[in-house]
Structure 1
C-alpha cells in the first residue's frame, strides 16, 4: 500500500502558476511554472481570464507529476497560496465566470474609493479592517462587476452567484464546486472582513455594496477545505489542507512565528511583513494591519508595507537602459565600484508606497558627476531598494515600540548577495536567507502539512526551516550616515 507523505503546493501568482511537490524533509521533488496571459482592456485596468489561470495551474500540476515520476497516491494534502485581492464572480450552478477576474493591480474603482473617502467612510473601514480605502482591495472590484454585468446584481441577491478571491475559485474548481471557502488571510484583504473575525461585516458589505450571501465560508488556514474531484491527473479525495495569501504564506514559510519576527520578499516589488502576535497593531505610519493566519481558534496578526519597485528596478536597468543583458549581471556590475560615488537612485518609478504614500512621486537619480559610470548607477539602484525597505522596517519598529532584531529574506532578488549585505548594513541587524527562496510556496507546504498531521506544530516547522546564509551588518560608518542623509534629501525631491 502506498504511503501518502508528500505535499503538493500550488502557488498561484500574478503572471504564472507554480507547483511544487515536497517531501517531509522539505526536499523539492519537482517544480514547474506555467505563465498565463495578462489582459489590459484600458489604461489602469488589469484582468485575468479565470479559465486561462486555472489551465496554468493544471498544466503546472501535470508537469510536476510527470517529471517527478511519483505516484499521485503519495500526495497527502494540497496547499494553496495565491495572489491576494484579485477577485471574481461565477455562476453557482455551472461555475462559469461572469467576467474576467479583476487583478489586485487594477485601478478602475479609484473614483469609487475617492467618493467613499469624501463621504467620510475611510476611518470606519480602517478601524474595522486595518486597511486603507483603495482600489487595491477586493470589495470595490466585486461591486464593479455586479454593476457592469447585466443582471448580475439581481442574480447575486437571488443567490445564483458565488464570489471570492483566487484561493476560493481554485478550491471551487479543484472540488468540482463542492466547496465555497476561504480563510482569514485572504478574507482580511477584501475590506469586508473585520480584524477581530466573527464573520463578514454586514455594515461594510452594505456600504461597499457586496451581498454577504455570495461570499465564501471562512475557515482556519489549516482546515480541511475540501477534497479533489475530477482533477486531471489527480485521484479524487486528496484533501486541500492549507491556504494563505502569498505574503502571509511567505511569513509562515519563513517560520516567523513569534511577535517581532519579520520577513521581506524581494520580487518585482518588495513586501515587508512583521508578526505582531495575538493583537492587531494600528499603524501610525501608513502601514497595513492584517491577519497573518488562523490556526485552530488562534489568530496571528501582522503589520505590512510594500515597496512598488525592487526587482523591477533591475529589470528597468536591463530593459530600459541596457546596462546589462541579464538581471543576474547587475550584482557584479554594482560590486565593481566600492560605493555609488555620491549617486542616489530613488526607485519611485510607480510612486512611493508606505511609509511615504506619495502616488505621484517619480523615480529620481541625483548626484551625477562626470565621473559617474554605469557601475555607480547600478550600485545606487541596489542601495535605493535597500534604503526604502529600511525605511519600511523602521516604521514597523516605531509602530510596535521595539527595535527589529533580525530579518528573514526571500524572493528572487534575495539571491543578490550585495543587495542583502547592503540591507543588513542599513538596518543594522543580521539577515537570514533560507535555502528555499520560494517562501510563499513553502508557507503553503507548512500549512497543509500541519493540517494533514505531517508536522505536529509550529515548533516542528521551525526546526525544519533551513538557512542558506547569514549576512552580518558592518559597523556604522560616516559613509553610511552620509548615504542615509543623501537618500532623505532625494526622496523629498522625488
Structure 2
C-alpha cells in the first residue's frame, strides 16, 4: 500500500520525536523537540508533562505539513520506561512533574523497607531487585509527598502510569487508560509470572490497583486518536512498546540467545530468553518481558546502566571538558595508551550487575600526566566494562548467548567506543543502519512485521583476549572497593 505510513511517537528522556515509517521499514520523515531536564540541587530529575504534551502537538502539526491525513494508517508509541506520572482521571491534567527513571529520591523509602524477606519477595515476583530505579517506589513517594496526588486519591480521581499510559490517555482524550507488559513489568508492581498487577506488591509501595492502567497485549487495539483534534478521521493506536524492547524488536532479536545494546541517556543490554522464565529468577540481572503478542509472552534478561549518554552530557555540561559529544571519539583515540585512569560512573549509584546504590562516582588510578583526553577515554571505557560484566551474567544464566552484539542509539557512531566494546567482549559488533530503532520497532509491531533491521557496519576484535582480561581485572579491582 504505497504512500501509507505508520506514525511512530518516540517519547524519550531528552525529547520527543514523531517519525513516519513506510511499508519498507524506511523512515520517510522525522521531527523532534527537546524538553527541559528539571534537576534540583538534590539531584532529583523531573520532566514537565505539559511541556511534553505541547511538544507532541507541535510535532504532529509539522508531520501533517508533509503528508495528507489519509496517508497515516495508524499510530505506534515507544517511550522511556520507569518514569512515573500522575494525573487527574477527570481532567487528564498532570498533578505533579514526572519523576524520571534516573531519579534517586526514593532511596530512603527503599532503605526503610529493604529487609531480606521483602527483597526476596519483590525479586521473585517481579524479576527486579528492590531499587529506587523502578516506578513503584516513585509513585509511593508521590503519594507521601505531592499534595495534589494525595488529594486526587482522596477524591477517587487519581491515575498513575508510565509515560506510555500518559500519552495514550492524552491522545485518546481520556478514553483509554491502558498499558502493556514491556512497560508494566518495569514498575515493580506487576507479577511477572501472571502478567497482572499484584496486590501484595501494590501494598508494599502504597498504591492501589484501581489507580493503575489495564494491562493488554503489546499489539492490542489501544484506542483511536485524532492527534489532539488535527485529524477529522481518527486513526487506531496499534502498538506500544518500551523503548528498549522496541529496539530489540527492530533488531530482529526474536530467537532465544539474540541480544542487543542500546546506547541512550542510559544503556540497556537485553537478551531474548524465549517463552520460559529462568529457574533462578533471583539473580543479579533484571528478568523482564520483551512483549506480549496475541497473548504470547516473550521474556528477556536485562542489565541497565543508568549513565551512558548521560555521562557524556556530564562531561559537556558539568565539567566542560567537551563542547559536543562528537569530540569524544578523537579525544579517546589520541589519549595516552599507557594511562589507566578509570571512571567509576556511580552518579546515581551502580545498577546491574553490581547493585551498589550507595556508591559515588569517582575518577581513580590517575597520574600527573592524566589530562582531558584520558578522562574522556576513561568515561567511554567505563560503559564498555559495565556492558561486559552484564554479558558475563547472561552467559552464566543462559549459556546460548549469540556471538553478535546488535547496537543502536546515539553513541553507535563513536568508532572508538564501538571498537573498544568489540575488543573487550571479544564479540562482533553490528551497528544499526538507523538510530531510531525504538520508533521503527514499535512501527513494525503495529504492522505485525517480524523482520531484522539492516546493519550499516561491523567491528571485529583487534585486541588479544589476554589484554581484554587484564583491563577487566583492573576494572573489577576498583569496583570492588566501592
Q: Tell me if both proteins adopt one fold, taking TM over 0.5 as the criterion.
A: yes
* 1:194-219, Cα deviation, whole Å (9 max, x unpaired): 11235322232233322212221111
Instruction: Provide the rounded CA distance (Å) in 2 between the counterparts of 1:29 and 1:368.
Output: 48
Q: Which runs of 5+ in 2 are unaligned?
A: none
Structure 1 stretch 375-384 or stretch 27-36: which is displaced more? Answer: 375-384
**Corresponding residue for 2:460?**
472
**Corresponding residue for 1:387?**
385
Q: What's the secondary structure of 1:410's corresponding residue? A: strand
Instruction: Provide the rounded CA distance (Å) in 2 between the counterparts of 1:258 and 1:90.
Output: 38
Instruction: Provide the rounded CA distance (Å) in 2 between the counterparts of 1:278 and 1:272.
Output: 19
- Alignment CA distance shift 1:330-1:203 (3 Å): closer
TM-superposed CA distance for 1:125, in Å, is 1.5
Residue 303 of structure 1: which of 287, 301, 304 is its match?
Answer: 301
Q: What's the secondary structure of 1:470's corresponding residue? A: strand
Residue 488 of structure 1: which of 457, 476, 480 is its match?
Answer: 476
The correspondence of residues 84-163 of structure 1 with structure 2, limited to 5 A, is: 84-118=81-115, 120-148=117-145, 156=153, 159-163=156-160
TM-superposed CA distance for 1:413, in Å, is 1.0
Residue 360 of structure 1: which of 350, 358, 361 is its match?
Answer: 358
Instruction: Provide the rounded CA distance (Å) in 2 between the counterparts of 1:443 and 1:48.
Output: 25
**Corresponding residue for 2:240?**
243
Work out whether 1:76 is the aligned partner of 2:73.
yes
Structure 1 stretch 202-211 or stretch 55-64: which is displaced more? Answer: 202-211
Contact 1:339 1:379 in 2 (8 A): no
Contact 2:424 2:463 in 1 (8 A): no
Q: What's the secondary structure of 2:272's corresponding residue? A: strand
Work out whether 1:190 is the aligned partner of 2:156.
no
Cα RMSD of the aligned pairs, angstroms, is 2.6
- Alignment CA distance shift 1:231-1:318 (3 Å): closer
Work out whether 1:279 is the aligned partner of 2:276.
yes
Work out whether 1:437 is the aligned partner of 2:409.
no
Contact 1:280 1:290 in 2 (8 A): no
Instruction: Provide the rounded CA distance (Å) in 2 between the counterparts of 1:489 and 1:311.
Output: 25
TM-superposed CA distance for 1:468, in Å, is 0.5
The correspondence of residues 365-444 of structure 1 with structure 2, limited to 5 A, is: 365-369=363-367, 371-444=369-442
Contact 2:424 2:468 in 1 (8 A): yes
Work out whether 1:53 is the aligned partner of 2:52.
yes
Q: Which runs of 5+ in 1 are unaligned?
A: none
**Corresponding residue for 2:288?**
290
Q: What's the secondary structure of 1:414's corresponding residue? A: coil
TM-superposed CA distance for 1:283, in Å, is 4.8
- Alignment CA distance shift 1:394-1:229 (3 Å): same
* 1:239-289, Cα deviation, whole Å (9 max, x unpaired): 100001111112112211111111111123222111111122345642111
Q: What's the secondary structure of 1:327's corresponding residue? A: coil
* 1:81-122, Cα deviation, whole Å (9 max, x unpaired): 111122233222222233333322333333332222238422
TM-superposed CA distance for 1:3, in Å, is 6.7
Q: What's the secondary structure of 1:70's corresponding residue? A: coil
Q: TM-score, normalised by structure 1?
A: 0.89
Instruction: Provide the rounded CA distance (Å) in 2 between the counterparts of 1:389 and 1:431.
Output: 13
**Corresponding residue for 2:161?**
164
Q: TM-score, normalised by structure 2?
A: 0.91
Q: What's the secondary structure of 1:189's corresponding residue? A: coil
Instruction: Provide the rounded CA distance (Å) in 1 between the counterparts of 2:38 and 2:427.
Output: 41
Contact 2:140 2:205 in 1 (8 A): yes
